[in-house]
Amino acid sequence: MIGIPEGADVELDLRLEAVMEGVLVTGSVRGRAIGECVRCLGEVVEDVDVTLAELYVYPERQAAATEAGDEDEDVRELQGDLIDLETALRDAVVPALPFQPLCREDCPGLCSECGAPLADDPDHSHETLDPRWAALGGLASQDDETKES
């Protein structure tokens, strides 16, 4: 429903610190998420600003922790001298996005009969006859014909 488009600019303000276990990455991530309103399918634009704090461990530290039986699946490992931030950025940004994005809080949505946007015409309605009463409508028209005769 909503996300930061691929190739869009994302502003990173990060600090990388060497610690005993590896490299600690802290800072903020800012970007613009674009999606669709869940009620009317109109465009939704949300500014995203989240904080990030991730520890990337040295491979030898991870191996020592695994041998000691201290396995943590969420531990991120350095890849030589490189840090792959993509997964950490996704894990920080996705929970900050709205689960059901709305173009505005009071979005009325679409007409369930014809799909017209109700925000354009608040008085939009359809004349519908309950099918259970449709047979009685036929009796009323027959009654009108007998009165005219």
Note whether 21 and 75 are same-domain residues: yes
Note whether 90 and 134 are same-domain residues: no
Q: Which of the residue ranges 39-43, 57-61, 72-76, 141-145 would you say has the lowest mean pLDDT?
A: 141-145
Note whether 91 and 18 are same-domain residues: yes
Across the range 33-62, mean pLDDT stands at: 91
Q: Can you give the pLDDT at residue 113?
A: 84
Q: Which of 50, 41, 34, 42 is nearest to 2 (CA)?
A: 34
**Which structural domain range is residue 147 located in?**
110-149
Across the range 76-91, mean pLDDT stands at: 89
What contacts 123, CB < 8 A, 6 or more positions away? none
Q: Looking at the 3D structure of the chain, how many domains does it have?
A: 2
* H or E element, residue 52: strand 43-57
Residue 123 lies in a domain: yes
Note whether 54 and 90 are same-domain residues: yes
Torsional class of 120: left (φ above 0), alpha (ψ -120 to 50), beta (otherwise): alpha
The top-scoring range by mean pLDDT among 59-63, 70-74, 75-79 is 75-79
Note whether 77 and 146 are same-domain residues: no
Note whether 145 and 77 are same-domain residues: no
Note whether 89 and 31 are same-domain residues: yes
* C-alpha–C-alpha distance, residues 24 and 93, integer Å: 18
Residue 40 lies in a domain: yes
Q: Can you give the pLDDT at residue 36?
A: 95
* C-alpha–C-alpha distance, residues 44 and 146, integer Å: 59
**Tokens standing for 49?**
């600003």
Say whether 7 sits in a helix, a strand or coil: coil
